[in-house]
Amino acid sequence: MRELALNLRHYETMLHFFRSAAWSLESLQLSWYKAVNRNAPIVRYLGCVLLVSDGMKKSKEARYMPGVKKLHQESENSSKGEYIFGHFFGAIGVLAGTAEKWFCLPLFLNLQDGVKTILGWDDSSEERQASHVVQVINQDFTAAGIFGRALLLLDRYYLSIPALQRLAEGNHTYASAVHIVTRAKMNVVAYEPPAAKKPGRGRPPKKGKMVKLAALFQTRAADFQTAKVTFYGKEETVSYLRVDLLWGQGLYQKLSFVLVRQDERLSIFVSTDLSLEPLQIHTAYGYRFKIECTFREMKQVIGAFGYRFWSSAMPKLSLYRRKGDPDPLEHVTDEQQRKRIRLTLQAIEGFVMCT
């Protein structure tokens, strides 16, 4: 109300609006996608739009707010608690702007953890019952249907077999192709392609010799090439090596790995698009951090997560519930109470989207 300078007497009306069943998050999402596609100065890199996805945790201590759960914070900042109670949002944005200044324009945010029981009450929400990683891939294909061929920039958390499987399925199903550029952990293991012909009888092998990528910084140091690149807005000299290997136990998908030595820092970048050059992969990943700047603006400037929606129909949040304990929401059987909880969940997500 304060941000839009609205008269405070409209407060009750705004509460009814966000809890209204006259609109849906999906219709709001598609309308925003189309508006951005028409009006925003979208950046294209090698003929692709640059989509960025990541997860964001927001602390919330309300005892009757849907979706609040205990979350682990992986941070090197000692001022942050290791565990918090709050909401976990999955977000997707598109890079837009001019050549001098790029920024990540948020496209869609929704709660992706702690809400499966609520969504299970509605059969139409089956897609949102998938894992967080798969939901992100699904959202990106929805965006690619509006914006066209896309390059998806992800954190190293998203390099997983379910993500690659869903990506392969989507590229066979949808008209607009999506490829991933991400980062791998230093202990990543891949495999060489199998031998062309196996001697003797039996099933042909799916993989060849195992390769520890981190070891290549030593064993193939002489094969590294040197170049100047712009990374995070700074021009730096790096040495790099590209290797195409099979990755994923049981999946064995061919990926492009780019090993980069930057002073004393060692990094391994990954792409599912084998046509990209090593420095193109390295440069593209450097734009991923734009979404972190967007999160900061949404938290500290816009107030996009300043919602206070709750419902007395919610069971009281237990601060000491263990991971294997049943969800108290399973005991909510009254349809009117379920409806109130669903509308409260919609109000939270709708507030973030509208802000």
**Sequential DSSP letters for 252-265:** -EEEEEEEEEETTE
Report whether 274 contacts 244 (CB < 8 A): yes
Which runs of consecutive H residues, i.e. helices, occur in the chain? 11-18, 25-39, 116-119, 132-147, 161-173, 216-219, 278-286, 290-297, 335-354
Cα atoms found within 13 Å of the Cα of residue 213, Cβ hemisphere only: 29
CA 310 to CA 305: how far, in whole Å?
14
CA 258 to CA 250: how far, in whole Å?
22
CA 55 to CA 117: how far, in whole Å?
20
pLDDT digits (tens, 9 = 90+) for 310-343: 999 999 988 888 878 888 998 999 999 999 999 9
Asked if residue 247 has pLDDT above 90, the reply is: yes
CA 70 to CA 84: how far, in whole Å?
6
What is the pLDDT at residue 257?
97
Domain range list for the chain:
8-183+274-354
Tokens at residue 49, please?
């739009």
Ramachandran bin of 5, using left for φ above 0, alpha for ψ from -120 to 50, beta for the remaining angles: left
Sign of the torsion formed by the C-alpha atoms of 151, 114, 313 and 311: negative
Asked if residue 303 has pLDDT above 70, the reply is: yes
Rounded to an integer, the average pLDDT of 291-306 is 90
Rounded to an integer, the average pLDDT of 135-141 is 92
What is the pLDDT at residue 122?
79
30-34, 108-112, 192-196: least confidently modelled range:
192-196
What is the pLDDT at residue 198?
67
Report whether 45 contacts 89 (CB < 8 A): no
Report whether 1 contacts 12 (CB < 8 A): no
Asked if residue 97 has pLDDT above 80, the reply is: yes
What is the pLDDT at residue 231?
73
CATH code for residues 8-183+274-354: 3.90.350
Q: Calculate what percentage of the chain has a pLDDT beyond 90.
A: 62
Res. 168 pLDDT band, cuts 50 70 90: very high
- Contacts of residue 350, defined as CB under 8 A and 6 or more positions apart, other chains included, come to 18, 23, 25, 28
Higher pLDDT, 80 or 66: 66
Res. 270 pLDDT band, cuts 50 70 90: very high
What is the pLDDT at residue 124?
62
Asked if residue 142 has pLDDT above 70, the reply is: yes
Sign of the torsion formed by the C-alpha atoms of 182, 178, 283 and 91: negative
Rounded to an integer, the average pLDDT of 177-192 is 95
Cα atoms found within 13 Å of the Cα of residue 322, Cβ hemisphere only: 2
CA 146 to CA 29: how far, in whole Å?
11
Asked if residue 130 has pLDDT above 90, the reply is: no
Report whether 247 contacts 190 (CB < 8 A): yes
Stated length of the chain: 355
Query: What does pTM read for this prediction?
Result: 0.91
Report whether 206 contacts 247 (CB < 8 A): no
Asked if residue 79 has pLDDT above 80, the reply is: no
Q: Which amino acid is at 68?
A: V
Asked if residue 125 has pLDDT above 70, the reply is: no
Rounded to an integer, the average pLDDT of 166-193 is 94
pLDDT digits (tens, 9 = 90+) for 22-40: 888 889 999 999 999 999 9
Please provide the average confidence, as pLDDT, over all residues in the chain. Answer: 90
CA 179 to CA 223: how far, in whole Å?
27
